[in-house]
């Protein structure tokens, strides 16, 4: 964090009216990024499957979280429908997401609605975040907020961040950090409210924050104070969830689904591509050895790798255990001008082994896309092709 003599157009986040000051505090990274990174680190640690961001605004946090492989459902709720529609497309999958599908399904949905309304589609979530939200609620909504989020939705974990007003004197001419803020709490005020809510709805809570104060002002605490609430006893039981009646008060304004290996068509595309690449890698790596053996043997099947067929010199780097597994698997061989790679050999490679549980599964998926031997135990490829002739293998 630095202090500079300058005119600053931001109190902390770069989105407020121009405020003159003698000493402006600049956070590195910016404070909003520190808040989002805090949530991302929490997601990395606890690996929730269902995450909702209440008051998601421009969806910046959702865009950061959607890359987490553990998340299968990501929801944003905000009162500003136009902003949700404008930013929705930024959450859609890109070309790269189709070329390299996720392991697990991911659905992202944006809802227009108030965080103090009950919608049953947000029941059963692992994590709900409320980043710089509660200070925008008037007294009536603030009173209803715990009833909805803690009492009705009752997720396993809730993260709430809000400004620490004790830090505000370090920002000259600042009373509230945003004209829409209805209040800003001291650490004692926030902790008193949080402990009361946690006790009432059977949660535990711990306090931390982001935005370190400058040297000499450590007593004011973090610029942003954060409460991490955890449901005592873990997740809500199925019986509790089943007692809730369907209440769909939010308006869905955007939804998208990402390609994943759980979807048959994408799984097949990935598996066929990986098998083809591995077969081609083995074929090319064995062409020089095949040329040395030409004329020495007839057209009977020839083991072209010996007891330890070489692992291709390009591609992934294998551990010693992985190398041993590959070397101990059935070896590719030639019959005439055909090159055979046993499926068991392919399954010895880590990436293919992760994709396929067994030989039967691999065979059933690739059979109509890749040539197989008559007994279906090996992939068959031409030993030489046009490009080999051009480059004189």
In this prediction, residues 176-204 reach a mean pLDDT of 94
- Confirm whether 280 is domain-assigned: yes
- Confirm whether 125 is domain-assigned: yes
Q: Are residues 197 and 273 in the same domain?
A: no
- Does residue 117 have a pLDDT over 60? yes
Q: Are residues 125 and 251 in the same domain?
A: yes
What is the CATH number for 347? 1.10.10
Q: Are residues 51 and 171 in the same domain?
A: yes
Q: Are residues 64 and 101 in the same domain?
A: yes
Q: Which helix (H) or strand (E) holds 51?
A: strand 50-54
* pLDDT value of position 241: 52
| 352 compared with 19, residue with greater pLDDT | 352
* pLDDT value of position 18: 40
pLDDT by residue (tens digit) across 254-276? Answer: 999 999 999 999 999 999 999 99
- Confirm whether 3 is domain-assigned: no
| 349 compared with 313, residue with greater pLDDT | 349
Full domain range(s) for residue 338: 264-286+318-390
Q: Are residues 144 and 273 in the same domain?
A: no
- Does residue 2 have a pLDDT over 90? no
pTM, two decimal places: 0.80
pLDDT by residue (tens digit) across 195-238? Answer: 999 999 999 999 999 999 998 889 999 999 999 999 998 665 44
Q: How many domains does the chain have?
A: 2
pLDDT by residue (tens digit) across 161-176? Answer: 999 999 988 887 767 7
Q: Are residues 184 and 135 in the same domain?
A: yes
């Amino acid at each position: 964090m630095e202090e500079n003599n300058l005119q600053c157009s931001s109190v902390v986040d770069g989105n407020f009216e121009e405020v003159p000051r003698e000493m402006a505090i600049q956070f590195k990274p910016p404070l909003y990024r520190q808040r989002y990174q805090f949530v991302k680190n929490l997601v990395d640690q606890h690996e929730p499957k269902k995450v909702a961001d209440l008051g998601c605004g421009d969806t910046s946090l959702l865009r950061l979280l959607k890359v987490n492989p553990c998340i299968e459902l990501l929801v944003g709720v905000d009162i500003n429908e136009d902003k949700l529609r404008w930013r929705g497309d930024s959450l859609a999958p890109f070309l790269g997401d189709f070329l390299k599908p996720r392991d697990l399904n991911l659905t992202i949905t944006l809802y227009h609605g108030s965080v103090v309304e009950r919608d049953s589609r947000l029941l059963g979530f692992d994590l709900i975040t409320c980043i710089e939200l509660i200070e925008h609620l008037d007294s009536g909504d603030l009173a209803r907020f715990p009833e909805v989020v803690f009492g009705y939705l009752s997720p396993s974990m809730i993260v709430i961040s809000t400004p620490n007003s004790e830090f505000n004197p370090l920002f000259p001419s600042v009373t509230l950090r945003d004209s829409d803020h209805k209040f800003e709490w001291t650490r004692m005020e926030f902790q008193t409210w949080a402990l009361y809510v946690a006790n009432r709805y059977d949660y535990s809570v711990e306090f931390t924050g982001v935005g370190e104060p400058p040297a000499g002002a450590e007593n004011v605490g973090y610029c942003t104070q954060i409460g991490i609430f955890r449901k005592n006893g873990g997740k809500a039981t199925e019986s509790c969830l089943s007692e809730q009646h369907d209440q769909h008060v939010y308006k869905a304004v955007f939804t998208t689904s990402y390609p994943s290996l759980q979807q048959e068509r994408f799984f097949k595309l990935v598996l066929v591509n990986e098998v083809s690449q591995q077969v081609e890698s083995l074929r090319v790596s064995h062409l020089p050895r095949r040329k040395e053996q030409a004329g020495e043997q007839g057209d009977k099947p020839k083991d072209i790798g010996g007891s330890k067929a070489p692992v291709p010199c390009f591609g992934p780097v294998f551990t010693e255990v992985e190398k041993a597994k590959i070397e101990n698997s059935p070896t590719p061989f030639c019959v005439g001008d055909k090159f055979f790679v046993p499926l068991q050999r392919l399954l010895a490679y880590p990436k293919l082994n992760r994709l396929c549980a067994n030989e039967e599964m691999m065979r059933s998926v690739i059979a109509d896309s890749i040539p197989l031997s008559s007994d279906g135990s090996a992939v068959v490829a031409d030993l030489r092709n046009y490009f080999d002739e051009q480059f004189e293998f």
